[in-house]
Amino acid sequence: PAAIRRCDYTPPAFLVDQVELGFDLGEARTEVRAVLHLRRNPAAGADLPLVLNGQSLETLRVALDGRDLTADEYRVEGERLTLDNVPADAFMLETTVANDPAANSALEGLYVSGGMLCTQCEAEGFRRITWYPDRPDVMARFRVRLTADRARYPVLLSNGNLIEETDLGDGRHSAVWDDPFPKPCYLFALVAGDLGLVEGDFVTRSGRRVALKFWVEHGNQDQAGHALASLQKAMAWDEQVFGLEYDLDIYNVVAVSHFNMGAMENKSLNVFNSKFVLAKRETATDFDFLGIESVIAHEYFHNWTGNRVTCRDWFQLTLKEGLTVFRDQEFSADMNSRGLQRLGDVRNLRAAQFIEDNGPMAHPIRPESYVEINNFYTSTVYQKGAEVIRMIHTLIGADAFRKGMDLYFARHDGHAVTCEDFVAAMEDASDDDLSQFRRWYSQAGTPRVTARWDHDQTARRLTLSLSQDTRPTPGQPEKQPFHIPVAVGLVGADGDLPLRLEGENAAQGTTRVLNLTLPEQDFVFEDVAEAALPSLLRGFSAPVILDAPYSRADLARLMADDSDAFNRWDAGQELAIRVILDLVADHAAGRPLALDEDFAVAWGKVLADYAADPAFAAEALSLPGFSVLGERMETIDVDGICAATKFLAASLGKRFAAPLLRLREVLAESGYALTPEAIGRRRLRNGALTFLAHGQPADTRVLAAEQFRTATNMTDQLTALSALVVIGADAAGPALAAFYEQWKDERLVVNKWLGIQAMADWPDVLDRVKVLMEHPAFDGREPNKIYALIGGFAANPQWFHAADGAGYAFMADRVLALDSTNPQVASRMARSLMRWKRFDPARQSHMRGQLERIGAKPGLSSDVAEIVAKALA
């Protein structure tokens, strides 16, 4: 299929003022009657035909202003319905279609999940429900009548307010929902099912009582409390921080098991992957609890940034996603620990987005073209998009940012707008010039910022020279310089120095944001008496790769003395990366591996000082992952990285066994709490167990087995199980069996069980994964299970990348099978093969061969075809 280009945007030929939808719901057949009140868009051409989108629909009736049309009065060609002759002004188009939700394995449009009927319309799923101008800049009021069997579907939900319920007397019933807010069709939703309810409320600051309703499978009501509390916190936070109130009397959230994404922000009827709703301490890890808080907030925040103000077209996706991720990150920072939140967000960015930006899928946060929009729900659009918003916040300041948000809503509430509209509001509210900054929206690639410095003792002056360079990305051979905010401090012998830049009369604070706008720029700090060490990019003030000539001693000093928590952590990570890369080189040269003494001392010091901040210590002690390490190599040395990382973890675990064991005892808890402090202590204590499992496998087996048996929460139980998996298949076997027996009725826990086995560093892991695909625990229609087992295997560096190519062949088989059932999920899995050029020639050849095999499938979905074409370009 041809690419769709941003520059080809034209306004819609017709607008829809009001839609009435009637659903006669059934699993195998649902009939949809749609009445569209249309009129010509004065902003578009006067003689354009009416073209509606539709996919997999059986068209039963088309009528114009009440008159049935004959087959020669309209055309259905592929996925378009065209009427050449429509009235000059307003008119009413009626269609009746049938579709088959049970056969819908793509999970877009109307489908079945665990006996309930539900929908997913973003980005272009609504066209699988009825004929419609399926584009986000057509905003209409929706009134929806749902009719269904009462026993099977007692709960009938759609967007807006429930205005009528009727018992039809024949075992069927109906409900009418009316949404007073005009919306694009991607925000439409319906749910019909037999569901349990958990209710709460929230009173807005202007006194509106909002009913908060969480709908879950019967029996799961005890697992919705955390999600409900998270929603209440998010509603209060958005009022306090952005002055944004909820605008209806009801907010529904439905948890479903079969869902391609994490969740969906449909107006007043969020549909969630159950993974981001259901949690209790026995079944959910601390990480799960934090994820729920963040995703619940994210979808809620979309009510303003996404729903009230939406996107003009899908190229603008980051307008709502980057901004909403920024908002949910800030919310989580306020609810938990700002420092830890930041380093977690940056770790994710580096592990996924930096890699995307340095490969065949590199695209600007506002892409210029796409074949399949589903392929652009990427970490670039989301996470880098959030970094771009954060940089605006940094550059113009919190007050101006808030004014900019207010102005954005004042100008655009109820409209479908562009990224440019957002930046213009920020610019107008701040009087700052963001013209060069806009390049972050149009240029792909991660800039590399190189820093050098020189201290002139006599002149008491430190000159910091910064330069920037961004490598070419597909379709963008030349890059213009970015506007990069670089937050800088100077670490002296007694802490941060006050900072006075050349030309200023007095020092202003101890962290300054420098505007790097040229390819090379010097910044001069005055009154610098001692040879201070620059602390650069504090708080990770821009999504760039920093190249600074720190010695290992400098890094150890920053680890210990930097006032910026992010840079303290980052200095430790950089030190660990250098040590591991040296080990990789030793491995490649056949030299024996040895523990770096300076690193061991620095690591041991963090361990010894853990009590000051256990949560931070847990982060500082953890080692960088495979993808971050691979990014630092010209050719990714799979075996070298795996050998080096395992060696380092084992060496540290062995050498520091005594303090690690002591720490576990000191941090042992009698009770369970879900506070940031308790989470931090658990993380450190469990991190210690993992190092011990690597360092002293035989001695740790009993300890891990004991923790596994006695754990009162999933964080502890799962870590113990992982530690046993590290120790070996013999040690883990009984625990894996016991875990399944204990949790086989909890789908989400079973997914953890699948994932942990897929990621095991065991030579026969691929065979085990194949066997698990036949296990009752697996269901090839459920994305969560595919992500756990197949996605988990793709995240197994040693064995997915097995030198014989068997892992790649297996993945290609999975992609080919999934392509026919769920192209979105197939496309995600196909991405694991995309970066073949980064590996050694033998692996390159295996991966490329598999990509070619996938590409040769007749009728390949546009989702997978786009990924394969970009990979092989």
The residues that touch ligand BAL, with contacts defined as CB under 6 A, are: 122, 261, 263-265, 298-299, 302, 321
Task: For residue 510, give the DSSP letter.
Answer: S
Q: Is 746 a catalytic residue?
A: no
Distance CA 300, CA 265 (A): 7
Q: Which does 305 bind (CB under 5 to 8 A by kind): ligand BAL, Zn ion, none?
A: none
Token pair in block for residue 782 = 């459920």
Give buried/exposed letters for 486-504 (b at 16+ CB in 10 A, else e).
bbbbbbbeeebbebbeeee
Q: Which does 363 bind (CB under 5 to 8 A by kind): Zn ion, ligand BAL, none?
A: none
Asked if residues 313 and 137 have their Cβ atoms less than 8 Å apart, the reply is: yes
Question: Would you say 108 or 637 has its CB closer to ligand BAL?
Answer: 108
Asked if residues 453 and 531 have their Cβ atoms less than 8 Å apart, the reply is: no
* Residue ranges in contact with Zn ion by CB under 5 A: 321, 324
Residue 4 phi/psi, 5-degree rounding, is: -100, 135
Neighbours of 8 (CB within 10 A): 9
Let me know if 35 is exposed, middle or buried by CB neighbors in 10 A (0-12, 13-18, 19+).
middle
Question: Would you say 321 or 619 has its CB closer to ligand BAL?
Answer: 321
Q: Which does 122 bind (CB under 5 to 8 A by kind): ligand BAL, Zn ion, none?
A: ligand BAL
Q: Which does 264 bind (CB under 5 to 8 A by kind): ligand BAL, Zn ion, none?
A: ligand BAL
Q: How far is the CB of 540 from ligand BAL (least distance, A)?
A: 22
Asked if residues 106 and 124 have their Cβ atoms less than 8 Å apart, the reply is: no
Q: How far is the CB of 302 from ligand BAL (least distance, A)?
A: 6
Asked if residues 424 and 437 have their Cβ atoms less than 8 Å apart, the reply is: no
Distance CA 852, CA 836 (A): 12
Q: What value, to the nearest 5°, has the Cα angle with vertex 51 and ends 45 and 54?
A: 155
User: 3-state SS of the chain: helix, strand, coil percent to 5?
Assistant: 45, 20, 35
Asked if residues 433 and 415 have their Cβ atoms less than 8 Å apart, the reply is: no
Helix axes 565-589, 638-655, angle to 10 degrees: 120
DSSP readout, 87-104? Answer: -SS-EEEEEEEEE-GGG-
Pairing mode, strands 416-417 and 310-311: parallel
Q: How far is the CB of 4 from Zn ion (least distance, A)?
A: 21
Question: Would you say 118 or 629 has its CB closer to ligand BAL?
Answer: 118
Question: Would you say 294 or 430 has its CB closer to ligand BAL?
Answer: 294
Q: How far is the CB of 265 from ligand BAL (least distance, A)?
A: 5
Pairing mode, strands 30-40 and 14-24: antiparallel
Q: How far is the CB of 870 from ligand BAL (least distance, A)?
A: 22
Token pair in block for residue 812 = 């290609």
Q: How far is the CB of 251 from ligand BAL (least distance, A)?
A: 15
Cis peptide before 297 (omega within 30 of 0): no
Catalytic one of 124, 265, 299, 866: 299
Asked if residues 217 and 195 have their Cβ atoms less than 8 Å apart, the reply is: yes
Q: How far is the CB of 260 from ligand BAL (least distance, A)?
A: 10
Write 679-682 long-range contacts (CB < 8 A, 24+).
679/286, 679/290, 679/336, 679/615, 680/337, 680/340, 680/613, 680/614, 680/615, 680/616, 680/618, 681/614, 681/615, 682/286, 682/713, 682/715, 682/716
Radius of gyration of the chain (CA): 28
Distance CA 171, CA 533 (A): 77
CB within 8 Å of 671: residues ≥ 6 apart: none
Q: How far is the CB of 238 from ligand BAL (least distance, A)?
A: 15
Question: Would you say 321 or 863 has its CB closer to Zn ion?
Answer: 321
Q: How far is the CB of 330 from Zn ion (least distance, A)?
A: 15
DSSP alpha helix (H) spans, 358-438: 379, 385-396, 398-412, 419-430
Q: How far is the CB of 123 from ligand BAL (least distance, A)?
A: 8
H or E element in which residue 769 lies: helix 765-773
Q: Which amino acids are annotated catalytic?
A: 299
